[in-house]
Amino acid sequence: MSEPKAASSGAIWSALWVVYIVWGSTYLGIALAIESMPPSMALGLRFLVAGSAMATFVVIRHGWSALHVSGRQVAGAMLVGVMLLGIANGNLAIAEAYVPSGVCALLVAVNPLWIVMLRAATGDRPKRVTLLGVFIGLVGVAVLVLPGDHVASVGGATPLQRTFWSLVIVAGSFVWALGSFIQQRIDVPKNPLVLTTYEMWAGGIFLSIFGMVRGESFTQFADATMRSWLGWLYLVTFGSLIAFTAFVWLVGHAPLSLISTYAYVNPVVAVLLGWLFRAEPFTSGVIIGGAIIVSGVILVVSGERPVRKIESESEVGH
């Protein structure tokens, strides 16, 4: 990876706070959107619109030729897009009807832990501090996932339903990590904006079809509330376009060690926003489990900083 280009401290921190706040707030945006929208189709339409907007930006900036990549690269991008946005984010959208948005964010925060485990499974030898971080993080996941009233449910879900959908989120986070891991090893478009465009289109198409299979319909959008539409528009504009653009700029201008801090700041932001705007309670399980997970992720990220680029960097799905 090339050295970051020189940029002012003010510009770097401004972009970083955009990533901190906006990506941390997308969990709230999803929760608001699915209050009256079909979850899979809401995300599918989000990614189709955001991908098309990003493609328009690429064409204006670089011309139509920028989108002309090989069929192999398109296939690679679409595979990753289905895994990250279709499966991982699609599961998250459905699960947020049962699990508080802040808890969802904490469970998703374990992505760097899965990456470490995947690398270890393919012959890499992580540092001891990294492995310690993985172990600590998984203990935190157990605290959040176990049945009981120590973690609140939403939408009238029972503790067992909350546990089931929490496990679905954990499985989705593994799929996200696997997709990120695979992306580093297959042929995909080199331009990150072009790559994201094809990934968003793939995720949008997958989720739209999946929603139809689940019995969802685009006609349901006619009954969506203004609150849900505002949440959806926020996801498209801020979550998928503005924050990602800020992230791409940071990759070229700021140290990776600083950029990587979003991995443990995002869930804290999500928990606070869920409490402020949806009255999601700070139960003992959320406080203890969340603190354990964030501690584990901090150890993993700090242990990996001098070594390599964090492979979950392609988080276009926020």
Q: What is the DSSP letter of 154?
A: S
Q: Specify the pLDDT at position 112.
A: 87
Q: Specify the pLDDT at position 268.
A: 92
Burial of 270 (0-12, 13-18, 19+ CB in 10 A): buried
Q: Specify the pLDDT at position 33.
A: 97
Q: Specify the pLDDT at position 77.
A: 95
Distances (CA, A) of 261 to 108, 159, 175, 255: 15, 32, 22, 11
Show the DSSP H helices in 186-310 as ranges.
192-213, 226-234, 243-253, 256-259, 262-278, 284-304
Two structure tokens written together for 116: 């470490």
Q: With contact defined as beta carbons under 8 Å apart, do 47 and 203 qualify?
A: yes
Q: Specify the pLDDT at position 4.
A: 55
SS3 for 96? coil
Q: With contact defined as beta carbons under 8 Å apart, do 158 and 165 qualify?
A: no
> What are the residue ranges in the chain where pLDDT is below 70?
1-6, 256, 304-318
Q: Give one DSSP letter per residue of 113-147, joined into a string.
A: HHHHHHHHHTT----HHHHHHHHHHHHHHHHHHSS
Name the pTM for this structure.
0.89
Two structure tokens written together for 246: 């800020």
DSSP H or E run through 71: helix 71-81
Q: Specify the pLDDT at position 3.
A: 54
CA distance 73 to 297: 32
